[in-house]
Amino acid sequence: MALFKAEKKAPKGPAGRWDVVIGEDMCKACGFCLSVCPVDVFAYRKAPNKIGWFPMYTAHEENCIGCMLCYQICPDFCIDVSVKSTAVATV
């Protein structure tokens, strides 16, 4: 059993209802969020941020299933995941 999952699954259930916001300027590119995410949401930027790292960004927000693992594991307080305001309206 491993902490990180190399293979991403296809999103099931309540995907697409989440806002995934990354503070890219404070990201130190540890890669924890990308590795812990069970689906395919994150990707590295190709240009460095102002503190010199190639930060993570939300590449596929629509895949997010709201498991909050990235929020829990981010060591630099960068990531916030919240219910999309439009989604709230439909629930």
Write down the least CB distance from residue 86 to another protein, Å. 19
Residue in 5, 14, 48, 51 binding another protein, rule: CB under 8 A: 51
CB atoms within 10 A of CB 52: 9
Among residues 13 and 52, whose Cβ is nearest to another protein?
52
The residue type found at 42 is F
* Phi, psi torsion values for 41, nearest 5 degrees: -115, -45
Question: From CA 81, how far away is CA 16, in angstroms rounded?
Answer: 12
Please identify which residue in 19, 60, 80, 84 interacts with another protein, judged by CB under 8 A.
80
Region binding another protein by CB under 8 A among candidate stretches 11-19, 23-31, 40-48, 57-65: 23-31
Size of interface with another protein, in residues (CB under 8 A): 26
Give the integer Cα–Cα distance in Å for 84 and 73. 21
